Amino acid sequence: MKKKIICIALASSLMFSSCLGSFSAFNGLKDWNMGMTDSKFLNNLVFWGLWILPVYEIFVVGDLFIFNVLEFWTGNNPVAMKEGEKEVQYVERDGNKYKMTATTNRMQIEVVDGPKTGEKVDLVYRPHEKSWNAIKPNGEVIPLSSFKDGFYIVHTPDGTDLKIDANTTREEGIAILNKYKGDYEVKTILAEAE
């Protein structure tokens, strides 16, 4: 599924230019990522970490299926929203109907019909923390990425925090991300085989 989303996102980014929308969610994440530090290397490591998680994929899909469609038909893009503004969009996929509600620095995704009815998650950007988080309905906050004490931290689905120091060489940083990605994929394959 992840490979399919990545392929769709990459193909779509080539096929769809700004004529169908401004890709404000993706560009906002990219701008945030590029402005995290003065180090291109560290910004690049965070970029790869956010692709592995898959934060970038979520934002591209959000732009493709929600924000750019809304912008094309209504002239408004919810990513560029002001305080108090709200946009709602419904999407059907794999037998589920999703209600996506966008407000300033937040997107709530809720399954309103289908096998996964009732499931929901909020994606929240906290500017004062320079962090992206997923928030479960029970209030549990799941950190996705952050910047703390001079370290970029990529918070992984299995609870591992990949902490990348500013003094880390490019090769060491890439090795950290690739090792985690390989270990995670092996664990996932083994879990599916059980």
Contact 179, 47 (CB under 8 A): no
pLDDT at position 114 is 93
pLDDT at position 76 is 63
pLDDT at position 126 is 80
Rounded to an integer, what distance in angstroms lies between the CA atom of residue 9 and that of residue 126?
25
- What rounded mean pLDDT belongs to the chain? 74
pLDDT tens for each residue of 70-105: 676 666 665 666 778 887 888 888 888 988 888 877
Q: Band of the pLDDT at 194, cuts 50, 70, 90?
A: low
Residue 4 makes CB contacts below 8 A (sequence gap 6+) with none
> In which region does residue 115 sit, left (phi positive, over 0), alpha (psi from -120 to 50) or beta (all else)?
alpha
Residues pairing with 97 in the sheet: 92, 113
Return the residue matching tokens 């906002």.
28
